[in-house]
C-alpha cells in the first residue's frame, strides 16, 4: 500500500491518522486513529447509522467487531512496520457489555509477533478504559513484505 | 450476475414494513421474510447496503452488494473484513431471533424473551472478490434453555467456497412483559 510503502522508503513512521482516511470502510465508520506512545488508539464517535438495536439504542455487534478488527490490523501495521495490510485469519470477539450511543475507543497489542503471523489481543471501551465492552483475540497474516 | 445461491422459494419485491404487513398469509416463511426484512431496517445493515433476502424459522439468507465505501484495501478494492464480520454477526443474530420466535413469529416470546451475543468466532478463508455480491447464510443450530448456538457462512460464487465462516453463541434473557 502506497501510504505504508512511502513511510518505509523514507524511514518515517506510518501516519495512522492518514491511514484511516484512505481506507473507505474506516472513513464510513468514522474512525480516527492516534498514537499513545507505541500504542494505536482508535476513536469512533457515535453515529445513528452504527446502531444495531434501535430500542436501547446499542451499537451493532458488527460495528464492534469491525472496530476491534481495525484496531488489531492498525496496531500490527504500526508494530511490524508493514508495507501491506495484514489479513485476518481468524478471531473471536467476546461481547462483555452493551455498546451504548457514545464515543467508542479501541486499542490492541501483539501478544506474539512471528515472521508470517501475529497473534493480537484487542479491547474496546467507552467511558472507562478499565471496563472493556468487548475484546478480540485473533491471528493476522503479515503479507510478504 | 447469475451467482449461485441456495435455491429456496421466497422472493419478495421491495422492503417489508412491519406497519404494512397484513394478515398472515398461508406461507409462514413468506410472512417471516417480510417481517424480517423490516427488521433488516437495523440502521447499520441498511447503511452498509445489506439486506435480508429470505428467511424461515432459524434460517436466514442475506446479501451485501459490493460498495466502494466498504473497501478495506484501497489498492485491491477488497472489502474490509469488518463488513463481512458485520453481516455474519447479523445473520447469526437473525437466525437465533427467528429460531427462538423472538423476532416476529410469537408475540408472547417477543414480549418475554430476548437474547444477547456472548461471542462470535470468525474464520477468513479468502478475500471477497471485488465488484461482486457477498451472500451470507445464517442458521440457528441448537437452542437450549439458556444458550443458543448459530453458524453463518459468507460466500460469492458457490456456497462450497466460503469467503468466511462464523460461529456465534448467544444467551437468552428473560424479560418481564411490559418492561
**How many angstroms separate the CA of residue A118 from the nearest CA in chain B?**
15
Minimum mean pLDDT range among A40-49, A87-96, B24-33, B122-131: B24-33
**How many angstroms separate the CA of residue B69 from the nearest CA in chain A?**
5
Residue B115: what pLDDT? 87
- Interface A–B counts its CB contacts (< 8 A) at 127
Q: Are the beta carbons of B131 and B67 closer than 8 angstroms?
A: no
Pick among B72, B128, B162 to test the A interface (most A CBs inside 10 A): B72
**Domains along chain B?**
18-174 (3.10.129.10)
Interface contact A77, partner B, CB < 8 A: no
Residue A144: what pLDDT? 65
- Confidence bin at B25 (pLDDT 50/70/90): low
Select from A83, A78, A87, A133 the least CA-distant residue to A110: A78
Q: Do B42 and A94 touch (CB under 8 A)?
A: no
Residue B28: what pLDDT? 73
The H-assigned helical ranges of B40-156 are 43-48, 81-100, 107-112
Q: What is the pLDDT of residues A60-112, one digit of tens each?
A: 999 999 999 999 999 999 999 999 999 999 999 999 999 999 999 999 999 99
- Confidence bin at A37 (pLDDT 50/70/90): very high
Q: Do B124 and A1 touch (CB under 8 A)?
A: no
**Domains along chain A?**
2-141 (3.10.129.10)
Q: What is the pLDDT of residues A6-33, one digit of tens each?
A: 998 998 889 999 999 999 999 999 999 9
Q: Which residue of A has its CA nearest to B121?
A: A92
Residues in chain B closer than 8 A to A91 (CB atoms): 121-122
- Please say if the pLDDT value at position B13 is more than 90: no
Q: Which residue of A has its CA nearest to B93?
A: A61
**How many angstroms separate the CA of residue B141 from the nearest CA in chain A?**
19
* Distance (Å, whole) CA A58 – CA A80: 34
- To the nearest whole number, what is the mean pLDDT of chain B? 81
Q: What is the pLDDT of residues A110-145, one digit of tens each?
A: 999 999 999 999 999 999 999 999 999 999 999 864
Residues in chain B closer than 8 A to A66 (CB atoms): 80-83, 85-86
Residue B14: what pLDDT? 30
Q: What is the pLDDT of residues B67-78, one digit of tens each?
A: 999 999 999 999
Q: Which residues contact A136 (CB under 8 A, 6 or more apart)?
A: A65, A68, A69, A71, A72, A91, A92, A93, A94, A108, A120, A121, A122, A123, A124
Q: For chain B, give me the number of helices (H) and strands (E)?
A: 4, 8
Torsion sign across C-alpha atoms A7, A117, A64, A41: negative
**How many angstroms separate the CA of residue B9 from the nearest CA in chain A?**
28
Q: Do A88 and B81 touch (CB under 8 A)?
A: yes
Please state the ipTM of this predicted complex.
Answer: 0.95
- Please say if the pLDDT value at position B87 is more than 70: yes
Q: Do B80 and A66 touch (CB under 8 A)?
A: yes
Interface contact A65, partner B, CB < 8 A: yes
Q: How many CB atoms lie within 10 A of CB A125?
A: 19
Residue B42: what pLDDT? 86
Beta strand A104-113 with B134-143 is unpaired
Residue B11: what pLDDT? 28
Interface contact A94, partner B, CB < 8 A: yes
Q: How is residue B90 written as a grid cell?
A: 447479523
Provide mean pLDDT across the span B7-28: 40
Q: What is the pLDDT of residues B98-140, one digit of tens each?
A: 898 877 566 666 667 788 999 999 999 999 999 999 999 999 9
**How many angstroms separate the CA of residue B46 from the nearest CA in chain A?**
8
Residue A55: what pLDDT? 74
State the residue for C-alpha cell 474490509.
Answer: B80
Amino acid at each position: 500500500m502506497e501510504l505504508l510503502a512511502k513511510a518505509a522508503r523514507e524511514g518515517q513512521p506510518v501516519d495512522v491518522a492518514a491511514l484511516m482516511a484512505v481506507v473507505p470502510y474506516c472513513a464510513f465508520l468514522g474512525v480516527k486513529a492516534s498514537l499513545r506512545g507505541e500504542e494505536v488508539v482508535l476513536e469512533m464517535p457515535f453515529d445513528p447509522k452504527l446502531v444495531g438495536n434501535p430500542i436501547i439504542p446499542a451499537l451493532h455487534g458488527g460495528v464492534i467487531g469491525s472496530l476491534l478488527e481495525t484496531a488489531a490490523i492498525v496496531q500490527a501495521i504500526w508494530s511490524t512496520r508493514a508495507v501491506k495490510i495484514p489479513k485476518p485469519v481468524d478471531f473471536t470477539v467476546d461481547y462483555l457489555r452493551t455498546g451504548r450511543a457514545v464515543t467508542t475507543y479501541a486499542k490492541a497489542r501483539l501478544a506474539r509477533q512471528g515472521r508470517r503471523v501475529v497473534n493480537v489481543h484487542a479491547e474496546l471501551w467507552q467511558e472507562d478504559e478499565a471496563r472493556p465492552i468487548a475484546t478480540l483475540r485473533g491471528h493476522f497474516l503479515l503479507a510478504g513484505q | 450476475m447469475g451467482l449461485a445461491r441456495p435455491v429456496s422459494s421466497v422472493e419478495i419485491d421491495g422492503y417489508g414494513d412491519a406497519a404494512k404487513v397484513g394478515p398472515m398469509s398461508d406461507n409462514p416463511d413468506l410472512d417471516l421474510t417480510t417481517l424480517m426484512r423490516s427488521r433488516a431496517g437495523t440502521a447499520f445493515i441498511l447503511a452498509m447496503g445489506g439486506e435480508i433476502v429470505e428467511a424461515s424459522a432459524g434460517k436466514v439468507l442475506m446479501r451485501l452488494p459490493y460498495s466502494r465505501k466498504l473497501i478495506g484495501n484501497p489498492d485491491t478494492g477488497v472489502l474490509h473484513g469488518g463488513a463481512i464480520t458485520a453481516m455474519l454477526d447479523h445473520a447469526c443474530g437473525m437466525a437465533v431471533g427467528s429460531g427462538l420466535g423472538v423476532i416476529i413469529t410469537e408475540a408472547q416470546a417477543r414480549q418475554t424473551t430476548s437474547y444477547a451475543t456472548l461471542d462470535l468466532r470468525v474464520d477468513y478463508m479468502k478475500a471477497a472478490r471485488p465488484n461482486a455480491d457477498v451472500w451470507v447464510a445464517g442458521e440457528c443450530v441448537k437452542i437450549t434453555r439458556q444458550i443458543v448456538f448459530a453458524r453463518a457462512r459468507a460466500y460469492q460464487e458457490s456456497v462450497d467456497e466460503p469467503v468466511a465462516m462464523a460461529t456465534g453463541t448467544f444467551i437468552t434473557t428473560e424479560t418481564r412483559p411490559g418492561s
